[in-house]
């Protein structure tokens, strides 16, 4: 039996506007009552989403009233600041300040913090203050989009997360208790969000939706009178694998609950083909209300981001630049949709480096590296791991960058490109210096954040299709 939301036919509203009617949710195992529903609606949905333009399904707008003080705003389509336990990878908070366009919402993961719950409970002021970012707006997801966790451990009563100390089982009560210790501004609801391979059984997809709806109802009940999380926004998760019927059921049922936004879960990794992902995303967003935010994990490549934006997704994680950094690579792509470089003021790619940093030469043509006496590394160089490489990056581990004294990307204004060269970063990588990760992270974050500014500008100017073709042309 599918959990369903049954609203009373008759509800009495006080003339003062203070609604305290009882809501009943009928689940397979119990009847759950919500008290003080007005507080649920007003507090948990305190952030305000304002749409300024909608083109087909693509949405341009801003989220206001963010943070404990309500003075933060987030433009969308946009991304979140990816962190490891509250700190951006490789960077200090001071170093982060050198990056332009840093999103005001930081992304933390429950899997990395759940085992530290006792420490945070004793601290009492939440993870933001504990991590030294008291003014940050925090979004807490269950799992890290970068990490591939073992599957098969979720049950009808609990969801397993994997931290540094191994597996932790979270029931709804333990989950809410952990969130009370973390005190995030937004948090993903507990859900059976295992990434399912293509062709998974309909029975397994149905089970993931049923479990997730039960977890959602239980969490809403536990949050009903929780003062510490009164201002936190609950993000409902849309599950169902690659089964369209279950995805739609999950979207419709979740939309009936008093959630503040939606997470399109289970799209990270390569379990599904890109065509299947995009088709499901289009169908899901068509079922969701327009006044609430839509978040997705694991779709971070620039071409994937634009495809998702065109299908109604608002927010993305920024784990992609971190993954690029971990490969010893630098993002190198053009996202300028304005034909006039002086007008655009954007970043322009000046070389034809592919994902592996190799230029496809015509007959008789000599590469810049070879003309300088530096032979380009063969793409199958056993010393370099090409796994996961994309067409939007160059691998600075390649030997041909030893004497390349250009910035990582021409016209890039990041600290690394203004002060250092490809040759220097290559040297740092070869020497295994920690500074290599710092400089690459600065560059990759800044270019990625500026890409989202271009996406918003293109949507505003009616040129999103132009930007999509520019990005797509760099994947050939």
**Which secondary structure element, helix H or strand E, spans residue 316, and what is its range?**
strand 315-316
Other beta carbons within 10 Å of 95: 15
CA distance 246 to 340: 47
DSSP sequence for 367-380: -HHHHTT-PPPPTT
Any known ligand binding at 417?
Answer: yes
With vertex at residue 471, the alpha carbon angle to CA 468 and CA 474, rounded to the nearest 5 degrees, is: 145
**Which secondary structure element, helix H or strand E, spans residue 215, and what is its range?**
helix 202-223
**Ordered alpha helix ranges (H), 50-192:** 93-96, 110-113, 117-123, 126-130, 172-182
Any known ligand binding at 140?
Answer: no
Integer angstrom CA distances of residue 265 from 141, 201, 296:
10, 18, 6
Other beta carbons within 10 Å of 8: 10
The terminus-to-terminus CA distance of the chain in angstroms comes to 48
CA distance 252 to 355: 40
Q: How many residues does the chain have?
A: 476
Any known ligand binding at 395?
Answer: no
Burial of 227-255, coded b for 16+ CB within 10 Å and e otherwise, reads eebebbbbbbbbbbbbbeebbbbbbebbb
Other beta carbons within 10 Å of 275: 8
Q: Show contacts of 300-304: CB within 8 Å, 24+ apart.
A: 300/145, 301/390, 301/392, 302/333, 302/335, 302/392, 302/451, 302/471, 303/468, 303/471, 303/472, 303/475, 304/274
CA distance 99 to 79: 15
Per the DSSP assignment, residues forming a β-bridge with 34 are: 23
Q: Which residues contact 292 (CB under 8 A, 6 or more apart)?
A: 45, 49, 259, 260, 261, 262
Binding site for Zn(2+), residues?
412, 414, 417, 443
- Show binding-site residues: 412, 414, 417, 443
């Amino acid at each position: 039996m599918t959990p369903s939301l049954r609203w009373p036919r008759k509800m009495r509203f006080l003339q003062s506007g203070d609604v305290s009617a009882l809501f009943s949710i009928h689940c397979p195992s119990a009847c759950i009552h919500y008290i003080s529903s007005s507080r649920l609606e007003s507090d948990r949905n305190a952030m305000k989403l304002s749409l300024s333009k909608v083109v087909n399904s693509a949405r341009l707008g801003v989220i206001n009233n963010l943070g404990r003080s309500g003075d933060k705003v987030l433009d969308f389509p946009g991304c979140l600041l990816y962190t490891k336990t509250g700190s951006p990878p490789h960077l200090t908070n001071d170093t982060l300040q050198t990056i332009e366009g840093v999103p005001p919402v930081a992304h933390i993961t429950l899997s990395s913090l759940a085992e530290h719950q006792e420490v945070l409970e004793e601290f009492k002021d939440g993870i933001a203050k504990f991590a030294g970012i008291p003014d940050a707006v925090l979004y807490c997801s269950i799992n890290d989009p970068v990490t591939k966790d073992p599957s098969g451990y979720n049950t009808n009563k609990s969801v397993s997360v994997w931290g540094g100390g191994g597996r932790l089982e979270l029931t709804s009560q333990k989950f809410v208790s952990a969130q009370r210790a973390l005190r995030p501004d937004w948090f993903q609801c507990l859900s059976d969000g295992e990434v399912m391979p293509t062709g998974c059984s309909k029975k397994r997809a149905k089970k993931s939706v049923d479990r997730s709806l039960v977890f959602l109802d239980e969490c809403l009940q536990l949050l009903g009178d929780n003062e510490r999380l009164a201002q936190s926004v609950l993000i409902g998760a849309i599950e169902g694998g690659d089964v369209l019927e279950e995805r739609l059921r999950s979207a419709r049922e979740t939309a009936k609950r008093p959630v503040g936004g939606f997470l399109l879960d289970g799209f990270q990794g390569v379990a599904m083909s890109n065509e299947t992902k995009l088709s499901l995303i289009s169908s899901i967003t068509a079922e969701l209300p327009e006044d609430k935010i839509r978040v997705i994990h694991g779709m971070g490549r620039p071409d994937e981001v634009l495809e998702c934006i065109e299908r109604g997704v608002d927010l993305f994680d920024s784990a992609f630049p971190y993954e690029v950094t971990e490969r010893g690579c630098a993002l190198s792509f053009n996202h300028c949709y304005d034909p006039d470089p002086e007008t655009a003021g954007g970043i322009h790619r000046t070389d034809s480096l592919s994902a592996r940093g190799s230029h496809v030469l015509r007959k008789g043509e000599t590469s810049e590296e070879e003309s300088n006496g530096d032979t380009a590394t063969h793409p199958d160089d056993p010393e370099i791991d090409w796994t996961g490489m994309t067409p939007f990056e160059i691998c600075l581990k390649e030997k041909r960058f030893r004497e390349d004294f250009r910035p990582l990307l021409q016209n890039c204004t990041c600290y690394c490109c203004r002060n250092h060269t490809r040759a220097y970063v290559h040297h740092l990588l070869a020497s295994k210096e920690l500074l290599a990760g710092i400089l690459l992270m600065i560059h990759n974050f800044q270019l990625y954040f500026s890409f989202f500014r271009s996406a918003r500008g293109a949507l505003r100017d009616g040129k999103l299709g132009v930007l999509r073709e520019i990005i797509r042309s760099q994947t050939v």
